[in-house]
Amino acid sequence: IAYYFDQIEKHQHLNAFNEVFFNSAKKQAEEIQAKLEKGSAGKLAGMVIGIKDNICYEGHVVSASSKMLENFVSPYSSTVVKRLLTEDAIIIGRLNCDEFAMGGSNETSYFGTVKNAADEERVAGGSSGGSAVAVQADMCLAALGTDTGGSVRQPAAFCGNIGFKPTYGRISRYGVIAYASSFDQVGTLTSSVSDAALLLEVLAGADENDSTVSSLPVPKYSEVLSSTAKKKIAVLKETIESDALDVETKEAILAAIEKFKEDGHEVSYVSFDLLAYLVPTYYILTTAEASSNLSRYDGVHYGYRNTQAQSLNQLYKSSRAEGFGEEVKRRIMLGAFVLSAGYYDAYYQKAQKVRRLIREKIEVLLQSHDVLVSPVAPTPAFKIGENVQDPLVMYMADIYTVLASLAGIPAVALPLGNNKAGLPLSIQLMTKHFNEQALLSLSHSFL
């Protein structure tokens, strides 16, 4: 633990941690040491893990990187935290992220931007930017993030680590601050596939506190990694042929495809013609859900309160106006709009239908193929400030990650080395619902 405290101190300027849990982590380390000596320690004994600052840990602040929850102490632990603790992982601190997980660059955090350790003038990605940088700069062994539309995969891609988002419903969301509940899923950022497998094995599975979690048995992911079964891999043609795709990213993905072929997998190119609908559908549905989820922050139930207000309405208004940042407000307004009478059918309900189409199309592709391939992001990490003026540019960059989120399927971002400028490149693999083993074993043999 001393090593990681030291690493955190050395990399403080990257702004990855919102808080280091010095006391509880030290205490845990001592307890686990004693257990190890007695031979009674859990599966994750000594694994030092950082958690995204939207995951509740009893007795610790959980802020969602928002002024709204700046001083909010969680009265209970999320299921994922409980499971980590039961298996004796050490939780070292809470990691910076975009405010309420809304963003793709970690620039919307109330606590400031996270810097990419590969180039400090560039973003870490988001929204789990702190999680990605903490693993990248070895400030913890692994980190938890949440992925609603790419927030684990894209920062992992920008920082050269492995970002794994399981099937929607594989891991409990109990105690995870909601952004868009029909999309949100906890995922892992690690530097090895075996760590991702081991963590998933501990985190996945039914939970009486979250009825959306599947009761399917949890495979021993860490034991199926060595499977070398040959896979049918389909490259989503339009995602690779797009002019918007950075040239070096494309070359690295093509080289990865060659390697899959050399390894004996069958690779084909398939068409996915709904690409243009992904980003609009995702942003209509997630903002709608967000506007509803975030209505609980009213200055009364939780968090920040304006103390000068003279009436209840004024209290709601000013607490929300002062507690939320600009991006969060933009999304609440957009969400309230698409849900409002008169626009509901044209936007929200239509988007639900398009989501269904997207999901069905992907399921058909996955009937005849084991794995789908696409980029994670159109470019490597961009410069801090480069995209903040234009939210639409930022939203469009989510095009490749929101697909798996809309369909609810598992997806992983894998590192492909660096470009000439030293920035990490990556590839995305996706598979059928609850087929995480396939993704993990293929990733393991590939890397």
Q: Given candidates 116, 151, 281, 445, which one binds ligand GLN under the rule CB under 6 A? A: 151
Report in angstroms how near the CB of residue 286 gets to ligand GLN at its nearest: 6
* Closer residue to ligand GLN (CB): 398 or 436: 398
Q: Report yes or no: 265 and 232 within 8 Å, Cβ to Cβ.
A: yes
CA distance 236 to 241: 9
CA distance 318 to 120: 36
CA distance 145 to 126: 10
Task: Out of 65, 78, 109, 127, pick the active-site residue.
Answer: 127
- 73-132: which residues touch ligand GLN (CB under 6 A)? 101-104, 127
Report in angstroms how near the CB of residue 9 gets to ligand GLN at its nearest: 29
- 390-409: which residues touch ligand GLN (CB under 6 A)? 398
Long-range contacts of residues 221-229, Cβ cutoff 8 Å, at least 24 apart = 221/197, 221/436, 221/437, 221/440, 222/194, 222/197, 222/198, 224/197, 224/437, 224/440, 224/441, 225/193, 225/194, 225/197, 225/440, 225/441, 225/444, 226/441, 226/444, 227/437, 227/441, 228/441, 228/445, 229/441
- 195-234: which residues touch ligand GLN (CB under 6 A)? none
Q: How many residues contact ligand GLN, by CB under 6 A?
A: 13
* Closer residue to ligand GLN (CB): 318 or 374: 374
Report in angstroms how near the CB of residue 327 gets to ligand GLN at its nearest: 8
CA distance 273 to 264: 28
Among 334, 337, 355, CA closest to 405: 355
Assess 260 for contact with ligand GLN (CB under 6 A). no
- 263-322: which residues touch ligand GLN (CB under 6 A)? 286
Q: Given candidates 42, 50, 129, 149, which one binds ligand GLN under the rule CB under 6 A? A: 149
Report in angstroms how near the CB of residue 436 gets to ligand GLN at its nearest: 18
* Closer residue to ligand GLN (CB): 28 or 128: 128
Q: Scanning the structure block, which residue is given the tokens 């709009």?
A: 337
127 is catalytic: yes
Binding segment for ligand GLN (CB under 6 A), chosen from 79-87, 148-156, 308-316, 420-428, is 148-156
The two structure tokens encoding residue 351: 């988007």
52 is catalytic: yes
Q: Report yes or no: 56 and 81 within 8 Å, Cβ to Cβ.
A: yes
* Closer residue to ligand GLN (CB): 185 or 222: 185
First to last CA, the chain: 28
Report in angstroms how near the CB of residue 148 gets to ligand GLN at its nearest: 3
H-only helix segments in 87-172: 129-136, 153-159
- 340-399: which residues touch ligand GLN (CB under 6 A)? 398
Task: Out of 65, 66, 151, 426, pick the active-site residue.
Answer: 151
The two structure tokens encoding residue 175: 């105690």
Q: Given candidates 53, 87, 147, 436, which one binds ligand GLN under the rule CB under 6 A? A: 147
**Which residues form the catalytic set?**
52, 127, 151
Residues near ligand GLN (CB under 6 A):
101-104, 127, 147-151, 179, 286, 398
